[in-house]
Amino acid sequence: MEIIEKEWRGGVYLCTVKSSFEADLMESKLRSEGIPSVRRYKGAGNFLEIAMGSNTTHPIALFVPKELLEDAQNVIVPVPLDECEDVDFGEYEDFEDED
């Protein structure tokens, strides 16, 4: 397992995600709380994201300002799906596509 540098480009390590989609989700959540972030790509991940529009083959590390690390960690706390409320999709059974 690779050890990530604790500091990089003025930020400190927050987490590693598996794809650019996950990175987009994390950055969006952090940004909504006023926390800036920077991506650090491994290998050809940055090139793949530019060339293909997405990166699903190389991990992406996210870094945030040191003074906001604790806030950022509190923002990205995972929620077990067992704790989510059940949604009744029965109300959508009569929904017809209007195409």
CA distance 36 to 81: 27
Is the pTM of the predicted complex or chain greater than 0.75? no
Tokens of 6: 């604790």
pLDDT score recorded for residue 45? 47
Specify whether the CB–CB gap between 60 and 45 falls below 8 A: yes
Per-residue pLDDT tens digits of the chain, which is 99 residues long: 344 557 656 789 999 888 888 888 899 999 999 999 998 877 654 545 655 555 556 788 899 999 999 999 999 887 676 766 666 666 655 556 555
pLDDT score recorded for residue 80? 73
pLDDT score recorded for residue 2? 47
